């Protein structure tokens, strides 16, 4: 899996569809688990690389911040939705990324990821293109354990 966004980071371990990276030393250390979608629709849409991240900044007390890089400028005022099984989570958009607004919802999303097998993410580009990306959740539980151990 080619993680160009992780070029300055060191690969710690890969767990099936998820890879864990670290960057920096001691007080400036950051870590993240990342994956790319297995399916991206519509095919041929003009997008840069698409990633789902779970990041940790131990020095700032952040253990599992979720972010999604959609690969295009997201339509202002729109939300990016994450669906796992029957559970849906709405993320707020900023430029080409989306984030969970509430820490409680973030924990619920992580629990749903651990229990699920496929995660679907839908968004709308600034130009009005609707996209859907499907990620495998195979290996996410092990990747989150490695993330926690690498950046406690």
Domains defined for the chain, CATH in brackets:
4-150 (2.60.40.1880)
Task: Give the pLDDT score at 26.
Answer: 76
Task: Give the pLDDT score at 7.
Answer: 60
Averaged pLDDT for residues 119-124:
98
- Residues 81-99 have pLDDT tens digits of 999 999 999 999 999 999 9
Please give the Cα distance from 7 to 92 (Å, whole number). Answer: 26
pLDDT range class, residue 71, cuts 50, 70, 90: very high
Question: In the predicted model, is pLDDT for residue 2 greater than 60?
Answer: no
Q: What percent of the chain has pLDDT over 90?
A: 84
| Cβ-based neighbours of 143, under 8 Å, separated by 6 or more | 13, 15, 18, 19, 20, 33, 54
Averaged pLDDT for residues 108-123:
98
Q: With 0-12 CB in 10 A as exposed, 13-18 as middle and 19+ as buried, what is 74?
A: buried
Question: In the predicted model, is pLDDT for residue 3 greater than 60?
Answer: no
Q: Give pTM, 2 decimals.
A: 0.92
Task: Give the pLDDT score at 27.
Answer: 78
Please give the Cα distance from 93 to 23 (Å, whole number). Answer: 25
Averaged pLDDT for residues 61-82:
96
pLDDT range class, residue 23, cuts 50, 70, 90: very high
Which of 25-29, 45-49, 54-58, 130-134 has the lowest average pLDDT? 25-29
90 vs 28, which has greater pLDDT? 90
């Amino acid at each position: 899996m080619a993680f160009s966004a992780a070029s300055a980071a060191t690969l710690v371990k890969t767990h099936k569809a998820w890879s864990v990276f670290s960057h920096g030393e001691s007080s400036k250390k950051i870590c993240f688990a990342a994956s790319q979608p297995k399916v991206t629709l519509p095919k041929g849409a003009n997008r840069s690389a698409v990633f789902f991240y779970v990041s940790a900044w131990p020095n700032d007390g952040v253990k599992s911040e979720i972010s999604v890089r959609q690969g295009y400028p997201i339509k202002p005022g729109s939300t990016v939705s994450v669906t796992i099984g029957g559970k849906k989570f709405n993320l707020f958009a900023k430029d080409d990324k989306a984030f969970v607004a509430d820490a409680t919802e973030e924990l619920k999303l992580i629990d749903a990821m651990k229990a699920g097998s496929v995660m679907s993410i839908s968004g709308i580009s600034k130009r009005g293109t609707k996209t859907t990306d499907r990620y495998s959740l195979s290996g996410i539980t092990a990747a989150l354990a490695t993330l926690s151990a690498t950046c406690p």
